[in-house]
Amino acid sequence: MKEKPLIILIMISLIIMILSINIGILTSYTAIIIDLSKQICKGSFFLEKMEWYYTDVIKIKDRYIFAGPIGVPLIISPLECLANNYETGLFIGGLVMSISTMISMIYMYLFIKRFGPYKEYIMASLISGVFASMPWIYSSHIFPQALLMMCYSALLYHSSNMLYKKDPELKDVIMHSLFSGIALLTDPSTIIMIFSISIFILIKLINNFRIKITTYKKLFSIIIIWISIFSIALSFQFYYNLSTTGNPFIFPEIIYSSERGFGTGFVTPVFIGLVAQLIDPRKSLLSLYPISFISLILSIYFYKDFYSKDAFLIYLIMIFVPLMIYSMWHDYHGGLSYGPRFLTPITILLIYSIYIILNRSSYKTRILLFIITIYSMMENSIVVVTSPYSCAFQEMSIFENQFLNCTLPMFLNTQENLRAAVINRLISHAVSLDLVFSSYISAVILFLNVSLLYLYSLLKKI
């Protein structure tokens, strides 16, 4: 594929994501992240103030601590220090999330381009996987998911490179360790997935190096470099834990879970979590993002489409280990978040499955996938301009749907002033329309852009 169309399509995708950034709705979670980011600039890990609406906070020795991973506040802190109000802070955080999502798309393109068996529908798969699933939603506001998408896609690419070459390049080792460290700081539970794929790669490298006894020095260098870089993130995490909780091995979020009666937080039976995240009518992959659900189910059948069984095993580990872990978390449903938020990093990997489906399927199947994808794009266009925070899982009856019974009525309600995206404000100011009515125009513009982008990629087989 020519590079020019690729660059143009990815840049248009980034512009759409930037126009979708939430600057209108501040929550207890995003307010804390912005406040903590500013405190980090001052050299402190503690919140300077405690507002009445803050919920994700614990109090230790008369000091208030954010009950969540340090990764997002730490990464966005240099930019958040420039923000003079919450609206600017929301935009800055959303900009980092949008760029992270774009990097995820680039990494998935590089992975498919290098290791995929087909040359067609690569960009169409990327656009479908991002704009017809959760990546678009979680590129729009400050949550860990966009950064985790970037880490997951990068780890898949660099892991595959290391397995592909009997003598891995140091740049892949360095980048693999770097993104492992970022993933750890963004979500400490990723340590299980990180160690699983790293140990597997190490075993394969040891087997490869047995062929050449003289190259054991290279293997030793690889191990030392990876551990050294990853240790920076691990040491910082321990330091942060020690500074806030007094124990390097105790995370603030674990204390928060314990105070709420959930122990370590991993108390939900796996089956319940899996059902809720995958097939529950209220807010699951099947009910909101069927293209991702189909891709997940079919992913285990695509082993023949991987260049090696080892790479396919890495792929499965990166999908199913987090899926099981997040299904055990007490907040597996994500509360007020839209859709099964914790599965967002997994859906970026499922782009590979979409790519295989598009290349393998018949014309009629592609038409069906097109209809499913267009529907989800329409749904997401409404969500990003209305509110990324919808009805809580617990507040809906078993036969209700988060989009149909909550977000859509909120979008159509002219009395409801919850409107989130940048494009809403731009149109409202440009044509002097009420913010609510401008959201109708905003949703149509976003939907037309993403659907035309997708259609163009399909027709051109990009």
pLDDT tens digits, one per residue of 194-205: 999 999 999 888
pLDDT of 112 higher than 60: yes
Note the pLDDT of residue 43: 92
- Whether 389 and 407 have beta carbons less than 8 Å apart is answered as no
Q: What is the mean pLDDT of residues 398-402?
A: 92
Q: How confident is the model at residue 417 (pLDDT cuts 50, 70, 90)?
A: low
Note the pLDDT of residue 212: 60
Note the pLDDT of residue 395: 86
Domain that holds residue 443: 3-459
Q: What is the mean pLDDT of residues 417-444?
A: 82
Instruction: Out of 27-36, 178-187, 408-417, pick the least confident.
Output: 408-417
- Whether 317 and 196 have beta carbons less than 8 Å apart is answered as yes
50-90 pLDDT, tens digit per residue, is 776 678 899 888 899 999 999 999 999 999 999 888 999 99
- Altogether, the residues listed in the chain come to a count of 462
B/e letters for 9-21, b = 16+ CB within 10 Å, e = fewer, are: bbebbbebbbbbb
Domain count, the chain: 1
- Whether 289 and 376 have beta carbons less than 8 Å apart is answered as yes
Q: What is the C-alpha to C-alpha distance for residues 138 and 210, in angstroms, rounded to an integer?
A: 44
- Cα 173 versus chain centre, distance: 23
pLDDT of 215 higher than 70: no
- Cα 310 versus chain centre, distance: 24
Share of the chain above pLDDT 90, in %: 69
Q: What is the C-alpha to C-alpha distance for residues 141 and 98, in angstroms, rounded to an integer?
A: 9
pLDDT of 5 higher than 90: no
Q: How confident is the model at residue 431 (pLDDT cuts 50, 70, 90)?
A: confident
Q: How far is CA 322 from CA 25, 188, 194, 196, in A?
A: 29, 12, 10, 11
Q: What is the mean pLDDT of residues 281-300?
A: 95
Q: What is the mean pLDDT of residues 302-317?
A: 89
- Whether 77 and 38 have beta carbons less than 8 Å apart is answered as yes
B/e letters for 43-55, b = 16+ CB within 10 Å, e = fewer, are: eebebeeeeeebe
- Whether 319 and 120 have beta carbons less than 8 Å apart is answered as no
**pTM to 2 decimal places:** 0.95
Residue with more model confidence, 307 or 408 = 408
pLDDT of 165 higher than 60: yes
